[in-house]
Structure 1
Amino acid sequence: MLHLPTVIGLSFILNLLIGLFFLSVHNYKKQSAFLIFGLACIAFSFAELLACLKLILNFPFITSYLANIFIILSPFLIILGLHKYKYSKPLNLRPIYYLLLFTAVVLLSVYPYSAAQMVTSFIIAGLYLFSAYIISTMNFVATLQKKALITCFLIHSLLMFVQTVLLALPILSLSDTTYLEPLELILSSHLILATCSALLLPYLLASNTEHTLASIANTDVLSQLFNRRGFFMKGKNALSLSLYQNKNISLILLDIDFFKRVNDTYGHEAGDQAIKWIAQHIKSQFLNEEISARIGGEEFAILLPNCSLSDARNNAEELRESISCYPFYYEGHDINLSVSAGVSSTLNGEQTIKELLANADKRLYLAKETGRDKVVTYDEKSLLLQA
């Protein structure tokens, strides 16, 4: 059997510390969800403190009624915090206030009796079940921890339902039978699960925040493709996979022809929209394992793992044709855009991405020098001039 006073003490300290941590994060980030999560943890610790006061204080209104209110308030606040974190928009709190008020009134009428704990257990069971549902609908990078938190909430809910039944049995059977040992075990489990949930939640939120920051750092805002930093990092990680060992890798480097004319004639806003338009063509064609990026002003790179030079050339030609065949529309103007591309290829491991990019850049330069709106996969300038 778990030593209940030790469990209560550890749970109280950990929930209080986690609550203070959330409040400090809120003080820094000014995000209301963290304030609510902090208050949820502190409310749970406060409920534990009030319940323990019954050892020295014979005042059921404080040790039973207020303790039950705060123990219910904790999962209420978790649900509210999850909603704020998920949607980041104003929430109609009136139904929640009404539900809390109704709960407070019901508990006020029964708090001196065992029925109070039964009502509290039933409400908590429902709240943790709903919390598990909300978590299941949210996207978290740390999927294992997400599953662990859902499991904690579901087990917590199940235990509270079992506790409700055990508390109801003596009343329904009109007997003096009590279930002190299983109820004490459920109480210990309740405290442990609540504390585990409080420990998992910051990790989930921190993982999402870190992922968001990394995504911002590696993404080009205008095109929503990778930026140069993201391209090299993602490309290096992809090519290190055993899946691509001893396979051909290719790289397409393309540049918008006469892009300066677009900016000079129609304005920089037109140029920005043209970049987005080109990026959309790239996204629509390269949807699978390819890694696409805007690595310069009007320059784009596409890394193609497990792709031969001839296949890469065909892909580049298809992209070039899809861009040149249809005009780009901007504020009533039909703007004909074209791209030039250089393509390089090697066996994975024989060249770095930088070397692939340098070779593709030489061929892009040849495409520009020999007429533009073409794809070049070799370096012989004389052959290009004859073509």
Structure 2
Amino acid sequence: MLHLPTLIIVSIVMNILLGFLMLVIYRLRQQQRCFVYWSVACFVFAGAAVTASLRALIDAPLLTVYFADLLIILAPLIAVAGLREYLHYTRSFLYLRALWVCCAILLAPLHGEPLLAQLVTSIVLAGSFGYATLLLVKVPTRSVLPKLVLALLFGAHALIMIIQSSLLFTSVREGPLPSFAPLLEWILVNHLLLTTATAMVFPLLVFVSSENRLTQLANYDDLTKLFNRRAFYQQAEDHFSLSEVEENDFSALMLDLDHFKTINDQYGHAAGDACLRWVARQIRSQLREQDVAARVGGEEFAIALPGTDERAAIAIADRLLEAIGGEPFEYQGKPIHLTVSIGVIHRKTRHEALQALLIDADTALYTAKKQGRNQVVLAS
């Protein structure tokens, strides 16, 4: 069994250190305010643990019961405010502050009734941790592990507070029961451990989400959400090399939106951007999971087709031609007729590198342009 006084001291020290760590991170990471909230939450929890522990040393219920319970409630509320700040919710602290003020008013006459005050505190904590669990579902990150760990910690904390509330309700109604003492001590131990663990996971959640965002910026075109030029060459090169090793077919398409400058001049650049996004959606709709599509220039797209022979590549190009040019794209109620020119290449023995393959596809593309646009040309 863990020695409770030692655990309390370690928890206080850990939360103080974590509070300072959050402040350092705040200074280093472009001053993200969520770290300030989480830092203050750590300091407040450490203060709550100190004041609550003083019950064993001094008889001052106003400090050791009322003030301690207010701090215990305040710590998770500030942590939740940090989550809301991280999610860019407006007025993230206003409603939580109002809730804390209500708790302060409700607990004021209960400082002489520690069991009843603890019951109210446990109910508020259960609600706070439950709300935090639901809030985490909205955190935008592809890496689910940090979010899952944090949600499990908050969910476990909410469950423990519900159990504590039921035990305290029974004790308030029937009087203190000695058989509940070990269970309440076990709950306190887990409360300390879960609080400290939760504070340690907060930075991990932000770091992983930020890493995903950086990956998005590095690999994807922000306008169309297709791969950018750099990522396309990395992905396509891998497929090209693998097709050589396994002696599989490999084809590529170069696609260019016809008369794009005229569209920008006639309808405006916002309409041009909307056209590019629409074309990107049409491209995605016609491709398979293994295909790699990218925006590699202003209105130019490249598509790698691993495991695709010449006939299948031409069929895909024809479908793209029909999907984009078959019906007008509507922008703000105005129809804009779009067409594309496509160059198709199937790997030949002369294509020892991806770059050589794409040069031939590009040559076929410009042949399609010279021959009148809105057509597919197969590279010889």
Q: What TM-score does the superposition give when structure 2 sets the normalisation length?
A: 0.83
Residue 338 of structure 1: how far off its partner (Å): 3.1
Q: Which amino acid aligns with 2:121?
A: T
Deviations 1:157-191 (A, max 9, x none): 22222222333434433465253322222211111
From the superposition, tell whether residues 266 and 141 of structure 1 become closer, same or farther in structure 2 (CA, over 3 Å).
Answer: closer
Specify the SS of the correspondent of 1:179. Answer: helix
Specify the SS of the correspondent of 1:343. Answer: strand
Deviations 1:127-149 (A, max 9, x none): 21221122134333221222222
- Taking only the aligned residue pairs, the percentage that are identical comes to 36
2:216 matched residue in structure 1: 215
Aligned 8 A contact 1:2 1:185 in 2: no
Aligned 8 A contact 1:239 1:245 in 2: no
Q: Which runs of 5+ in 2 are unaligned?
A: none
Q: Which amino acid aligns with 2:139?
A: M
Taking the TM superposition and a 5 Å limit, the aligned residue runs for 1:1-387 are 1-27=1-27, 28-91=29-92, 93-94=94-95, 96-112=96-112, 113-174=114-175, 177-235=178-236, 248-260=249-261, 271-272=272-273, 274-286=275-287, 288-327=289-328, 337-346=338-347, 353-379=354-380
Specify the SS of the correspondent of 1:376. Answer: strand
Aligned CA RMSD, in angstroms, stands at 3.4
Q: Which amino acid aligns with 1:129?
A: G
Distance 2:221 2:312 in 1: 27
Q: Which amino acid aligns with 2:17?
A: L
From the superposition, tell whether residues 24 and 343 of structure 1 become closer, same or farther in structure 2 (CA, over 3 Å).
Answer: same
Q: Which runs of 5+ in 1 are unaligned?
A: 380-387
Residue 378 of structure 1: how far off its partner (Å): 3.3
Q: What TM-score does the superposition give when structure 1 sets the normalisation length?
A: 0.82
Residue 266 of structure 1: how far off its partner (Å): 6.8
Deviates more, 1:324-333 or 1:68-77: 324-333
Residue 55 of structure 1: how far off its partner (Å): 4.8
Residue 299 of structure 1: how far off its partner (Å): 1.3
From the superposition, tell whether residues 70 and 236 of structure 1 become closer, same or farther in structure 2 (CA, over 3 Å).
Answer: farther
1:385 matched residue in structure 2: none
Distance 2:177 2:260 in 1: 87
From the superposition, tell whether residues 351 and 188 of structure 1 become closer, same or farther in structure 2 (CA, over 3 Å).
Answer: farther
Deviates more, 1:351-360 or 1:300-309: 351-360
Aligned 8 A contact 1:342 1:376 in 2: yes
From the superposition, tell whether residues 249 and 74 of structure 1 become closer, same or farther in structure 2 (CA, over 3 Å).
Answer: farther
Q: Which amino acid aligns with 2:109?
A: S
Specify the SS of the correspondent of 1:342. Answer: strand
Distance 2:240 2:172 in 1: 67
Distance 1:175 1:54 in 2: 17
Distance 1:117 1:333 in 2: 64
Aligned 8 A contact 2:49 2:68 in 1: yes
Q: Which amino acid aligns with 1:147?
A: L
Q: Which amino acid aligns with 1:3?
A: H
Distance 2:332 2:103 in 1: 59
Distance 2:88 2:242 in 1: 36
Distance 1:144 1:241 in 2: 31
Deviations 1:326-355 (A, max 9, x none): 4567799876543222223459xx966445
Specify the SS of the correspondent of 2:343. Answer: strand
Distance 1:71 1:331 in 2: 54
From the superposition, tell whether residues 18 and 262 of structure 1 become closer, same or farther in structure 2 (CA, over 3 Å).
Answer: same
Residue 68 of structure 1: how far off its partner (Å): 1.2
Distance 1:210 1:97 in 2: 32
Residue 193 of structure 1: how far off its partner (Å): 0.9
Deviations 1:75-126 (A, max 9, x none): 21222222333243335824x3332222112222222332222222222122
Deviations 1:184-238 (A, max 9, x none): 2221111111111111222112111111122123232343432212323454677
From the superposition, tell whether residues 111 and 306 of structure 1 become closer, same or farther in structure 2 (CA, over 3 Å).
Answer: farther
From the superposition, tell whether residues 374 and 198 of structure 1 become closer, same or farther in structure 2 (CA, over 3 Å).
Answer: same
Distance 1:77 1:345 in 2: 60
Distance 1:172 1:352 in 2: 80
Aligned 8 A contact 1:19 1:37 in 2: yes
Deviates more, 1:69-78 or 1:177-186: 177-186
Distance 2:26 2:287 in 1: 40
Q: Which amino acid aligns with 1:39?
A: V
Residue 310 of structure 1: how far off its partner (Å): 1.9
Distance 1:8 1:239 in 2: 59
Q: Which amino acid aligns with 2:197?
A: C
Deviates more, 1:63-72 or 1:16-25: 16-25
Aligned 8 A contact 1:141 1:204 in 2: no
Deviates more, 1:197-206 or 1:171-180: 171-180
Deviations 1:277-331 (A, max 9, x none): 4334324434744332110122111223443332221111121233334456779
From the superposition, tell whether residues 143 and 277 of structure 1 become closer, same or farther in structure 2 (CA, over 3 Å).
Answer: closer
Aligned 8 A contact 2:253 2:303 in 1: yes
Number of aligned residues: 375
Distance 1:266 1:176 in 2: 77
Q: Which amino acid aligns with 1:15?
A: N
Aligned 8 A contact 1:34 1:81 in 2: yes
Specify the SS of the correspondent of 1:129. Answer: helix
Q: Which amino acid aligns with 2:76?
A: P
Distance 2:242 2:14 in 1: 41
Residue 275 of structure 1: how far off its partner (Å): 3.5
Residue 40 of structure 1: how far off its partner (Å): 1.9
Specify the SS of the correspondent of 1:114. Answer: helix
From the superposition, tell whether residues 341 and 119 of structure 1 become closer, same or farther in structure 2 (CA, over 3 Å).
Answer: same
Specify the SS of the correspondent of 2:226. Answer: coil
